[in-house]
Amino acid sequence: MYQMHSLVVPDWLTRKAPPNYIAGLGRGANGFTTRSDIGPAREGPDNAALERAKAAAEGKGPRADGDEDDEQFQDPDNETGLFNAAPYEADDEEADRIYEEVDAKMDERRRARREAREREELEKYRKERPKIQQQFADLKRGLAIVSEDEWASIPEVGDLVRKGKRQKKFADKYSVVPDSVLLGASSQSELTHSLDAKQQLLGGFATPAPTADGTMTDFVQFGQARDKVLGLKLDQISDSVAGQSIVDPKGYLTDLSSIVVKSDAEISDIKKARTLLRSVITTNPKHAPGWIAAARLEEVAGKQGAARELIAKGCEECPTSEDVWLESARLNNTDNAKVILAQAIRHIPQSVKVWTKACDLESDTKGKKRVLRRALEFIPNSVKIWKAAVSMEEDPEDARILLSRAVECIPLAVELWLALARLEKYDIAKKVLNKARLANPTNHDVWISAAKLEETNDNDKGVDMIIRRAVDSLQKKGSTLNRDQWIVEAEKAEKEGYVATCQALIRETVGMGVEEEDRKSTWMEDAESCISHGSPATARAIYAYALNEFPQKKSIWRRAAFLEKSHGTRESLEEILQRAVRYCPQAEVLWLMGAKEKWLAGDIAAAKGILEAAFAANSNSEQIWLAAIKLEVETGEHARARLLLTSAREKANTQRVWMKSAVLERQLGDPKAALKLLSDGLVKFPDFAKLWMIKGQIETEQGDIPTARDTYARALRAIPKNTTLWLLASRLEESAGMQTKARACLEKARIMNPREPQLWAEAVRVETRAGNLPMAKALLAKALQECPSSGLLWSEAIPMEARPQRKARSADALKKCENDPLVLVTVARLFWAERKVDKARNWFARAVKTNPDLGDAWAWWLRFETMHGDDAGRADLVTKCVAADPAHGERWQAARKDLKNVGKSTEEVLHLVASQLSNAI
C-alpha cells in the first residue's frame, strides 16, 4: 500500500526546496529579478531605530536635541493633537494677519536685492553661454551689404556625411567577364548562312504557330479588329463632316464632368450613413423622415434605382405621410410620378401639397384645371387651391363664378373677397365688400379696399367717411393696428396710386397714441421716414396735418416747401409758400424762396412784388434787402441797385450791406468809390475780414503793393485768427518776388493759428512753386503729423510721391479721412492717369455724392468726361451740377469771384473751370 502511494504522489514534492535552489538552472534556464524581489532602493531602518521612533511617538522615550517635531509647524487652520478642539478666535486671526504682514514686509525689503542678484546671475550666464543667434548677429548684419550676384554665387550645401567612407565602400571593382558573354556578343553581329535542323524541319524563318486543333492564328486580323473597335468608339463621340472626323470638345468635357469621382473618405462616409439609416428604418419603419433620408443618401451616392426602391418601401410603410409620397414623385419620371401621386391621393385625399404637385405635373392647362377642380371636391376650404384654380381661368366671368363659390366655402378668406370685388361692377362690388366686412369685422384690408373702390369712382367724400368709420369700428372691435402700421398702409395705398385713400388714412391715424409734447418731433420723423421710403404723398399729408395743428411753426412750413420743391410742381410750391408767408410773415426764408421761384420762372414783376410785401413785413431785414439788390443786379438795373444799397446802408446798416455796396462798385468799374465805401465800412466794422480782403485785392489790382501790404498788416493786427487774410498777405509777398517774406508770413500764421491745414498746404505750395521739393516734402510731413485727418494735405501728399508709392499713399489717406471729397478726387485722378476709365468715373461720382457743394470735384469730373466720355454723359453731368449749385472749392471760388465772370451761370463757370484743369499727376 505504501509503495502504491509513493508511486502516485512522490514524497519529494511535499518537501522544502534546498537553499539557493533555482528551478530550471540545470537545463540552462536563467531567472530574472524585479523591484518587488529586491525591495526599495533605499535601505530601510533597522529594528532599533523603529523601536526608538515608536517610543518617541508615544512620549515614553527621550528625544534628541537635533530632532525636529513634525507637529511644531502645524497649520493652525488644521490643528491636530493638543489644540485640535481649541476654537480659532479673533485674536488668533489677528496674530496670523500680523505675521503675514511681517513676512510680506521682509520679502519686500529683500526683493530689490534679490531681483538685482538674479539679473546679475542671468547676465553672467548669458555672457558665459550666449545663444547661437547672438553669436552670429554680426554676421547676419553683414548680409545686408551682400549683392544679388554674390548671393547667387554662393554654392549649394551638399551631403558630405561619411563621404570618404562611401567612396571607399563603393570603390571601382573589376571582375573577369565570362567567355559565354563574349561569344554571345560576337554572335549577334554575325550573319547566318545556314539553317539548323529545327528551322529546316519547320520551314525556315516563316514559322507557323499551330494550335492544338491545327488552326492558324492570324495576327493581322487581330490588328484590323482593334482598329475597327477604336474607330467605332471615336465615331460615337464625333460628327462626320465632309469626310473629316471632328470631335466636339464641349460635349466631351461635359460628359467627363458628369462623372462623379468619389474619394475614399466620401465612400466611407456614405457606407456609415447607409448603415445608420438602415438601422433607423428597420427599428422604426413608420418614421417617414428616415425613409426620405435613406433615399436621398442613395441618390447622392448615384444609385437612383436603389433610391426609388427605398422610397417605394417608405410609401408602403408610411402611406399617410405626404412628404414620402412627394419624395417618391420627385425621384421618378413624370409618368411614374403621376401614378404615385394618384396612389397618394387615395391614402391622403386632404393633402394640399399632393394635389398641388399633381397639378404641376400636368403639362397642359386643361389637365391642370381638371386636377384642381377634383382637389376642390375633396378640400373645399383650401385657400391655396382656390387661388390656383382662379388663376388658371382666362375668362373673367369664369373666375368670378369660382370666386363666388370660394367665398361661400371660405368666408374668412379676405383675399378671395377682395379678388371677387375687383371683378364685380361698382354697385355689386360694394355689396361684396359689405359682406366681407360682416364676415371679417376685425380686418382692415376690407375697409381700405372699400375706400380705394370709392376713390376709383371719384368719390373722395366717401373715402374720408369710410376711413373714419373703419378706424372707429376697428378700435371698438379691439384691432391691434398701431399708428406706424396705419402709416405703412398709407404708403402702400400711395404706391398703388390711391392718393386720396393715403391722405385719409394719415388724417385719421397719424395722431393716434402720440403725447402732446412729442407731436411735432414725432410727425417730422414720420415725414422724413416716408420721404426716404419714396412716399412723398404720405409725407405731404403728414406735413398738412402738422400745419393744421401748428400753423405758426416756420420749420414745418420750410420742410413742406422743400418737399414741394423736390417732389412737387412749381404751382404746388408757390401755393404752399403763399400760405406759409400768410401764417408766418416774419419768416424771411419763406419770402425769399417765393421770390426766387418767381424769378426762376421768369416772372420778375411777381418776384419784385413778393419782395415788396416782404419789406412791408420785415422792414429792416438784411436778407430781404440783399435779395432785392441781387434781383436788380441780375436784371441789369444797376441804378436801382445803388439806390437800394444806399437805403439799406441807412436802414439796415449791416456789414454785409457795406460789403455788397463795395462789390457792386467794383463790378461796375469804379474802384475809387469802392475804396471809399470800404474805408467807411471799416470804420464801423473793423473786425469784418471781407472788407479788408476786398480793399487789399483792389489795391493789388491797381499795383499799389505797399498800400496793399499795409492794409493786410492792419487787418492781421485786427483779426489775427482769420486764415484767408494770412493767405492773401503771403501771396502778395510771393507775387512781389519776396519768397522769404512769404515763408515768414506763413510761419507766423501757423504760430497764431495752429492745426490749420490751409496754412500748411500754402507753405508746401510756396516751396513747390519755388522748386524746393525737399523742403516741400519736409513741410508736408510735419503738416500731416499736426493735421493727420486733413483731406487737403493728403491730396497734396499723394501726387508728390513717386508713382510706385502713390497707391500705398492713397490707401493711407483713405484710412485717415475716408469720405473726404478732395482725397476721393485725387484717387480718381490716379485711376485716370492709369487709363482705368470705369474706376475713375466711379470715384468721381463718389466724390460729388459725398459733397455736392464742392465745385472743384464737378469740374474735374467734367474734364475727365470731356476726354473719355460721350455727349449724353457730359450733358447729364452738367444737369446734376446745375441742380447741386456748388459754391465752394479753391478753383471754383476763384472763378466765381473773378470780375470777368460776373453774371455767368453755373454751367458756364463749370465749363470755364474744367477747361483750366490738367491731370498732370
pLDDT average, residue stretch 690-718: 93
Q: In this structure, are residues 786 and 754 in contact, taking their beta carbons and an 8 Å threshold?
A: yes
What value does the mean pLDDT take over residues 461-481?
A: 84
Of 143-152, 455-464, 861-870, the range with the highest mean pLDDT is 861-870
- Which 8-state DSSP code applies to residue 81? G
pLDDT interval class at 367 (50, 70, 90): confident
Above 90 in pLDDT, residue 733?
yes
Is the distance from CB of 380 to CB of 409 less than 8 angstroms? yes
pLDDT of residue 241: 43
Mean pLDDT of 214-224: 62
From the CA atom positions of the chain, what is the Rg in Å?
Answer: 52
Q: What is the 3-state secondary structure (H, E, C) of 776-839?
A: HHHHHHHHHHHCCCCHHHHHHHHHHCCHHHHHHHHHHHHHHCCCCHHHHHHHHHHHHHCCCHHH
What are the grid coordinates assigned to 677, written together?
Answer: 465805401
Query: Which range, 19-23, 115-119, 203-207, 478-482, is most confident?
Result: 115-119
CA distance 748 to 733: 14
Give percent above pLDDT 90 in the chain.
29
Q: Which residues contact 54 (CB under 8 A, 6 or more apart)?
A: none
* Mean pLDDT estimate for the chain: 81
**SS3 (DSSP) at 139:** helix
What is the pLDDT averaged over residues 422-445?
85
d(CA 481, CA 474): 9
Bridge partners of 240, per DSSP, are 245
Reported as a single tens digit per residue, the pLDDT across 261-308 is 455 566 678 888 888 888 888 888 888 898 999 899 888 888 888 889
Residue 683 pLDDT exceeds 60: yes
Alpha carbon of 796 to those of 765, 781, 809, 826, 843: distances in Å? 9, 11, 11, 9, 18
CA distance 191 to 182: 17
pLDDT of residue 761: 95
The confidence score (pLDDT) of residue 230 equals: 65
Tell me the per-residue pLDDT of 41-64, one tens digit each, with 9 for 90 and over. 455 556 676 677 666 655 545 444
- Encode pLDDT of 592-601 as tens digits: 888 888 887 7
**Which band of pLDDT confidence, cut at 50, 70 and 90, is reported for residue 201?**
low
CB-facing half-sphere around the CA of 750: CA atoms within 13 A: 19
* Contact criterion met (CB below 8 Å) for 570 and 540: no
Amino acid at 133: Q
The verdict on pTM exceeding 0.85 is no
Measure Cα distances from 146 to 141, 259, 632 in Å.
Answer: 10, 55, 79
737 by DSSP, 3-state: which?
Answer: coil
What average pLDDT does the segment 404-412 reach? 85
